[in-house]
Structure 1
Amino acid sequence: MFQINETELVRGSGSCNYKIDIKTSCSSPEHTTDTIDIIIGDANGNQIISSPDPSMRGSSLKRCTTNPFDLVQANCIGKICSMFFVRFGTDGWIPESATLYNDGYPPITFNFNYLIPFGVPSGIYNCNK
């Protein structure tokens, strides 16, 4: 497990811990050196944008594996209802699913199963106000 150490708050407050379990699809390349940014958000437009620790980037995105990421002491947002990845690199990467754990809310799973395009946010927005 590695810790996400770069967080940027778009909006929100306080200090909360989040856990994200990312399962890489068995259809993904066997190994990738690609890096990802993770964007999570709530129905009020609050977002957290995170990048994994640079020393670990790409090394945990192996096919058919589930990798836990800790987002520690990030700003608090509401119930998470959107998740996007931004991929950088040439190998390609296919996440199968991601389950997010947010204190005070039940876990939420997002199912992907598609190649994340290069350099643009790609994901799921399932928010209702």
Structure 2
Amino acid sequence: MAIAVSSLLLLASFFLVLSGAQSSVLLQQPHALPSFNLSYIQKLGSCSYNVVITTSCSSPSYTRDQISIAFGDAYGNQIYAPRLDDPSTRTFEGCSSDTFEITGPCAYQICYAYFYRSGPDGWKPDSVQIYGYNSKAVTFYYRTFIPGETWYGFNLCNSAASSSGQPKYRFFMYVVYGFLISAFLNVL
């Protein structure tokens, strides 16, 4: 009986850890960053990035807005592309994906991405996927309209570092807790 109870407690703590790790990912939302500093861009090396931007089906059918992107890693390597838009080629049409090859300084794992939009039409990206030489592919899910005249997006650099280590540590603590309960119940 004691073994069954301790096994159930261990199993419950395992599912608690897993559900906590999943919810932290779902709570990430894009945000405005009015003081984004583009002058910090380093000029170290030259690497190529493939950036796939998917425009939401609830975005206007086309946009004349000027759209820029900046992304980078936790070490200050920033890649900036001013003016990805081109209305003559139907870039950023609703329900479409556009692929860009952007060259910039070599970065490690990409952990932030911001858009800047200027113009009267509005634009709603669904997601942006960034593929780089030194980093795994990363996807940021926007699913909201980009406000005008401000940098808007994600910075997961700090949360990525802390959240990648935290669930493992928390899982370890739950396992130790489960074994202590199990040992205590076996003594009874």
Q: Report if TM-score (shorter chain) is over 0.5.
A: yes
Query: Is the counterpart of residue 14 in structure 1 residue 50 in structure 2?
Result: no
Q: Please tell me the residue identity of whatever aligns with 1:11.
A: Q
Q: Within 5 Å, give how 1:1-129 maps onto structure 2.
A: 10-52=41-83, 56=86, 59-72=90-103, 74-128=104-158
Q: Does structure 1 retain, via aligned residues, the 8 Å contact 2:71–2:113?
A: yes
Structure 2, unpaired ranges of 5+: 1-38, 162-188
Give TM-score scaled by structure 1 length: 0.84
Counterpart residue identity of residue 41, structure 2 = V
- In structure 1, distance between residues paired with 2:73 and 2:102: 16
Which structure dedicates a bigger proportion of its chain to helix?
2
Return the structure number with greater relative CO, CA threshold 8 A, min gap 6.
1
5+ residue gaps, structure 1: 1-7
Higher fraction of strand: 1
**Aligned residue pairs: how many?**
120
The 3-state SS of whatever aligns with 2:100 is strand
Task: Describe the superposition over 1:6-56 as per-residue Cα deviations: whole angstroms up to 9, x where unpaired.
Answer: xx87125111000100000001011111111101011123212212467x2
2:83 & 2:119 partners in 1: Cα distance? Answer: 15
TM-score by length of 2: 0.59
- Determine which structure has more spread, i.e. the larger CA radius of gyration: 2
**Whole-angstrom CA distance in 2 between matches of 1:53 and 1:121:** 15
